[in-house]
């Protein structure tokens, strides 16, 4: 069968760099760090005292108090991001066929804050089980797409993807496939996460996965730098309106970019460490490129997973050269995690959003906080260190990798 074409017609986000798409994009191209000291709980006894948290967040700006109390932060961020994307798409919700509109959302952890607070209350209440009746609906990952579908009455496919840090990129690929197979016309897809809390920080500290550069949080996320000491936890959400091309054209929609391919793979190596030679990363990029049916030389920008971890950054750059050969040196690459941090299950969607905006605006966002390149990493690669640069981008690839060896790559191209 002939596959349908898929385009991006709406975007929305809330994260440490901005409470909407425009604020986020301006921060990205200006090289702003979203990292700051945590003020939501006492970090005195924590090895890490900072994260990329949303600034001045007030749920009552977006939700009535009784509603906000029933929603964990990750679901709040999902609804806020989706709402901006829907508005941005100019969808006429009274005219579309809602049986052919769905929601697929990526969440890596879910309601960690709610889970922590409820168990803490249970212990403080002498182990008397007086749990909130909304406890379970607040913590489960699939509640986010559930709430989105209820709000917009989208009655098509509705589920959550869970693949650790690759969750939201996986959601985008699934949504893309439903549309191009002709099953639906419109999908809201993306991801959200809210793990910059007691359990999240303490858990990743125990793994020695996150930076402890408490004296200088804004420079703590240092992808590819010799001084990197782990990633920085971020929080927020990012949403896409994905639409079948003819459907979008018929209603006169603006089109950011065309979604042309997605690839998945597994490292099959280790629960947290990447394969040292980038085996899974190599395979996933090749899978995405083959799926997109695009010449490798047409990729002008790659948003690397680039977490600022010792092993991951080295393995991914090896994989990039494995896939692209000499063309790797002609590609502009960057890790926007250096600015917005690692949003765990939501990071793939936010970095895909950055890639789409890079195509639309002809600007490569930078990798900030570069001081000295790790000598084990090829210095001839174009990392776009510290400053954004203008460049026509015909097509962009975005990588997302997760604990458990989950790998996802997505590819967008300039819409003509």
The residues annotated with a catalytic role in the active site are: 165, 305, 342
Q: By the 8 A CB rule, do 167 and 161 touch?
A: yes
Q: By the 8 A CB rule, do 210 and 231 touch?
A: yes
* Alpha helical stretches, state H, 252-296: 279-292
Tokens of 155: 């009655």
Q: Which helix (H) or strand (E) holds 204?
A: helix 198-207
Tokens of 206: 């125990």
- Burial (CB count <10 Å: 0-12, 13-18, 19+), residue 214: middle
Q: By the 8 A CB rule, do 306 and 374 touch?
A: no
CA distances from 406 to 6, 280, 382 (A): 24, 8, 26
HEC string of 326-389 equals HHHHHCEEECCHHHHCECHHHHHHHHHHHHHHHHHHCEECCECCCCCECCCCCCCCECCECCCE
Tokens of 180: 């191009």
CA distance 148 to 82: 7
């Amino acid at each position: 069968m002939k596959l349908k074409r898929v385009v991006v017609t709406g975007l929305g986000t809330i994260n440490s760099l901005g409470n909407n798409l425009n604020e986020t994009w301006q921060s990205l191209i200006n090289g702003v760090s979203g990292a700051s000291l945590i003020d939501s709980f006492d970090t005195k006894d924590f090895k890490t005292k900072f994260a990329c948290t949303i600034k001045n967040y007030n749920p009552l700006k977006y939700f009535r108090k009784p509603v906000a109390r029933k929603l964990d932060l990750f679901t709040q961020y999902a609804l806020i991001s989706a709402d901006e994307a829907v508005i941005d798409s100019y969808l006429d919700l009274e005219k579309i066929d809602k049986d052919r509109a769905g929601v697929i959302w990526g969440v890596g952890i879910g309601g960690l804050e709610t889970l922590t607070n409820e168990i803490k209350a249970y212990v403080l209440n002498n182990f008397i089980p007086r749990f909130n009746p909304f406890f379970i609906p607040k913590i489960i990952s699939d509640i986010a797409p559930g709430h989105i579908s209820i709000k917009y009455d989208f009655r098509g496919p509705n589920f959550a993807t869970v693949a650790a840090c690759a969750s939201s990129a996986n959601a985008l690929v699934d949504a893309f496939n439903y549309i191009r197979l002709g099953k639906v016309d419109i999908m809201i897809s993306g991801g959200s996460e809210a793990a910059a809390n007691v359990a999240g920080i303490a858990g990743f500290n125990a793994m020695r996965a996150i930076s402890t550069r408490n004296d200088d949080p804004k420079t703590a996320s240092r992808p590819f730098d010799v001084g990197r000491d782990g990633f920085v936890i971020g929080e927020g959400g990012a949403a896409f309106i994905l639409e079948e091309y003819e459907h979008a054209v018929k209603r006169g929609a603006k089109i950011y970019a065309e979604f042309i391919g997605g690839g998945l793979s597994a490292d099959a190596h280790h629960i947290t460490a990447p394969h040292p030679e980038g085996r899974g990363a190599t395979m996933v990029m090749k899978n995405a490129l083959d799926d997109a049916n695009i010449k490798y030389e047409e990729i002008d920008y790659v948003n690397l997973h680039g977490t600022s971890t010792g092993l991951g950054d080295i393995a991914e750059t090896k994989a990039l050269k494995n896939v692209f050969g000499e063309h790797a040196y002609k590609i502009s690459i960057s890790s926007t995690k250096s600015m917005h941090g690692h949003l765990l299950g939501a990071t793939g969607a936010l970095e895909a959003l950055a890639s789409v905006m890079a195509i639309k605006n002809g600007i490569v966002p930078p990798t900030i906080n570069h001081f000295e390149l790790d000598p084990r990493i090829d210095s001839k690669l174009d990392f776009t260190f510290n400053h954004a640069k203008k460049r026509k981008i015909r097509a962009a690839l975005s990588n997302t990798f997760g604990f458990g060896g989950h790998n996802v790559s997505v590819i967008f191209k300039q819409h003509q």
